Structure 1
């Protein structure tokens, strides 16, 4: 397998990840835009169903995260056999986990939607979408796991090609089922669900073929459902804290959204538009952080701690520089960018202030994305979670209420709370990285492999 393992550089790893994430963002918007031509109610129904499905994908992500780090560390340590075992075990684990969650979504789709206080007129469409996409969500679990494995071997371009193919197929399927050309049945939400599932099934087949090719068919598939205690323990050791951090962040954001809703519909709309624009600013940092995680995993596995230490700091400088420069450019054209979404002058004015504050916010977010992923790659998984939960709830949520609601600063106060949270966590993570405590946390060095 070493023969097929790719020589790793940050640029070679990062640009395909960047394209992949950008496509996810653009195609998500394309789905919404296409469905909006069919019915506004359908957009709302799919939006609510996707909130539930997003939570499920976070759950699948905890196995994929552990997989990526363990494989990278073992490849760095030249433990190719162990890396191959972890690849198969993680596939089996996420398949079983995925099937269980898929069955739950299929059986409990309507009660889950009713729990979200969904209006009666949206229930049937939302339920139809959740049953089809949720009932087959285990396919997405397998795609995520295979993607994590292939990326860890350095073949990030392969995953990008699969994403491009899936998105193209999804858009084509949406077009046929929403607009009904050539006598195709117009199925609306149900058609969009079928298109989503069909593109994922084809994507899974392509991903599996690439996995077999890149590993020279040397994976021990006889271990698919054996679940060795050591491998499962390490997967959970990384995955559960990572999932906890994501769930905590989503929970804190939901509470802050409730605060913003209290400010009125206009404030809520402004927040959505501003964050849609901001996603394109921190996209660079996300890609750099994921590429850095793979590199540091390999370096820590090889016990090249000095190279890993320097790599994190170089990546951090790069992410801060790019995010700052991008935020400045977006701030200069903030009114034009907000104008893409709305003609409401009040929303444009407040949104422009938020994008201006983003110049301070995004470099702080870069610290968290790059350094947390580096700590995780080195096996130091608990510290970022504990500090993250404390800061998300103690700083971000608390200050959002105090500044935004109590002192009446509105959305600007809430953005200041975001800035305080990101910078506090970021500086704590940098302190942790510079302390080099993470050197003793490697999963490869802690056990014989």
Structure 2
């Protein structure tokens, strides 16, 4: 299989690692730079971005489905089919995201009122929402093209474009917020324009790269002439995945509500601890996404044994790396938390939370790697059902019982995280080892071109 010979886990993963790291470092660039301009501006943009993050999940489901279907078809050497799915997913997400953009632009003030935003923040929040929300369809296209290119194995392309977008965003923010060389200061409206422009330029570059990388296998007729099977498969993969993400976001909001009952210090400690934890599971995220691409190709090529062992190898690697990084972070906890605060209560509790994270992160690695593997194989619904049940039945329940009822505070809440991640992770591993997923592929045997012995 020619596609698989070009793909290795390392070659796929390190650009994804850099890209996700950049998102983590630069995702709050607007907020950090605006803090030098106005606290009200920070609050206005922060609330607006909370709303926009939910919208992004809603159209992210098409990108998720496209990534898996394209990888499977490329593995089956069905390049034209992969191209057709790519074009269809772009079309579907474009029209859906334009509809959402239109709604955000027209009803931005009403939506922000639901968040009970103070009147003093409304003007800036509406201005930001109208610009960034009104053009959110560009982000939908960025996500979809990025997912397709990664499935083709071109993870470096999306990494380089992400770097360029972030550099443009920071430079643009500097000019519109600080107004050097006598340039007028545009504040929130300027930040919104910079965000929109950097995304638009990123989309143009990625679109050109997609046309070049797909080597003429993009039947543009599929942009307006949909195949029923393609739409069905996109929805079967994407909607459950989006539902799981929305459920996760909702469960985290519930956890945050619990933490709020513990006081301002607890909220601050949680924020700092989770900011540090993001860097611990960064490798697991990258390994999980790289493994999904590889397994999608293997499944398309009917190489189920290669797919099976790839997941196990990736899981072992993710566990070792996440455990090692968690240990290093724990022994550096005073220094790391000291970057944010000198409050002894936060330093003490934060250190204990990072100690518990040593147990938490290997469990999270199970979910980030094995769930992506199951999705890549076409086994989509099982992880979603178990995920939703465990998030609410285990994580939220234990967090309330031990965090609030038995007054263990953040320690009880972290216990809920640990039990949830490990329970789900072990159930996912059991599902993978059962090999039920071998019958879930979206590429049917009769569709496979003439098979030849694999000599690789």
- TM-score bracket, normalised by the shorter chain, equals over 0.9
**Structure 2: distance between partners of 1:156 and 1:363:** 25
How does 1:59-74 map onto structure 2 within 5 Å?
Answer: 59-74=58-73
SS of the equivalent of 2:339 reads: helix
Q: What's the CA shift string for 1:14-44, capped at 9, x where partnerless?
A: 0000000000111124332211111122111
How does 1:216-365 map onto structure 2 within 5 Å?
Answer: 216-365=215-364
Question: Is the contact between residue 6 and residue 154 of structure 1 (CA under 8 Å) also seen in structure 2?
Answer: no
How does 1:167-186 map onto structure 2 within 5 Å?
Answer: 167-186=166-185
Aligned-CA RMSD value? 1.3
Quickly say closer, same or farther: Cα 1:350–1:240, change in 2 above 3 A: same
Match of 1:164 in 2: 163
How does 1:1-400 map onto structure 2 within 5 Å?
Answer: 7-400=6-399
Greater shift after overlay, 333-342 or 89-98?
Answer: 333-342
Q: What's the CA shift string for 1:153-182, capped at 9, x where partnerless?
A: 100000100100100001011000000112
Question: Is the contact between residue 289 and residue 369 of structure 1 (CA under 8 Å) also seen in structure 2?
Answer: yes
Question: Is the contact between residue 371 and residue 429 of structure 1 (CA under 8 Å) also seen in structure 2?
Answer: yes
Q: CA deviation at 1:183?
A: 2.2
**Structure 1: distance between partners of 2:183 and 2:122:** 25
**Structure 1: distance between partners of 2:314 and 2:183:** 49
Question: Is the contact between residue 73 and residue 300 of structure 1 (CA under 8 Å) also seen in structure 2?
Answer: yes
SS of the equivalent of 2:302 reads: coil
Q: CA deviation at 1:216?
A: 2.2
Quickly say closer, same or farther: Cα 1:299–1:240, change in 2 above 3 A: same
Quickly say closer, same or farther: Cα 1:90–1:345, change in 2 above 3 A: same
Q: What's the CA shift string for 1:23-71, capped at 9, x where partnerless?
A: 0111124332211111122111111100011011111210000000000
**Structure 2: distance between partners of 1:178 and 1:36:** 10
Quickly say closer, same or farther: Cα 1:446–1:114, change in 2 above 3 A: farther
Quickly say closer, same or farther: Cα 1:82–1:274, change in 2 above 3 A: same
Q: CA deviation at 1:247?
A: 0.5
Normalised by the length of structure 2, the TM-score is: 0.96
Question: Is the contact between residue 241 and residue 385 of structure 1 (CA under 8 Å) also seen in structure 2?
Answer: yes
Q: What's the CA shift string for 1:238-260, capped at 9, x where partnerless?
A: 00010011001001110111011
Q: How many residues align?
A: 448
**Structure 2: distance between partners of 1:385 and 1:147:** 23
Greater shift after overlay, 76-85 or 219-228?
Answer: 219-228
Question: Is the contact between residue 5 and residue 154 of structure 1 (CA under 8 Å) also seen in structure 2?
Answer: no
**Structure 1: distance between partners of 2:123 and 2:349:** 37
Q: CA deviation at 1:225?
A: 2.0
**Structure 2: distance between partners of 1:259 and 1:96:** 38
**Structure 2: distance between partners of 1:342 and 1:438:** 47
Normalised by the length of structure 1, the TM-score is: 0.98
Q: CA deviation at 1:11?
A: 0.1
Question: Is the contact between residue 361 and residue 422 of structure 1 (CA under 8 Å) also seen in structure 2?
Answer: yes
SS of the equivalent of 1:303 reads: coil
Question: Is the contact between residue 3 and residue 74 of structure 2 (CA under 8 Å) also seen in structure 1?
Answer: no
Q: CA deviation at 1:448?
A: 3.9
Q: CA deviation at 1:289?
A: 0.1
**Structure 2: distance between partners of 1:258 and 1:135:** 30
Question: Is the contact between residue 6 and residue 153 of structure 1 (CA under 8 Å) also seen in structure 2?
Answer: no
SS of the equivalent of 2:186 reads: coil
**Structure 1: distance between partners of 2:194 and 2:359:** 40
**Structure 1: distance between partners of 2:214 and 2:394:** 45
Match of 1:424 in 2: 423
**Structure 1: distance between partners of 2:358 and 2:65:** 33
**Structure 2: distance between partners of 1:341 and 1:225:** 52
Greater shift after overlay, 94-103 or 220-229?
Answer: 220-229
Quickly say closer, same or farther: Cα 1:30–1:6, change in 2 above 3 A: farther
**Structure 1: distance between partners of 2:224 and 2:164:** 30
Q: CA deviation at 1:269?
A: 1.1
**Structure 2: distance between partners of 1:367 and 1:93:** 32
Greater shift after overlay, 294-303 or 119-128?
Answer: 119-128
Greater shift after overlay, 406-415 or 342-351?
Answer: 342-351
SS of the equivalent of 1:341 reads: coil
**Structure 2: distance between partners of 1:331 and 1:272:** 16
**Structure 2: distance between partners of 1:198 and 1:147:** 18
**Structure 2: distance between partners of 1:168 and 1:72:** 30
**Structure 1: distance between partners of 2:344 and 2:187:** 34
**Structure 2: distance between partners of 1:447 and 1:263:** 59
Q: What's the CA shift string for 1:111-142, capped at 9, x where partnerless?
A: 11111111221111111111100000000101
Match of 2:440 in 1: 441
**Structure 1: distance between partners of 2:329 and 2:186:** 39
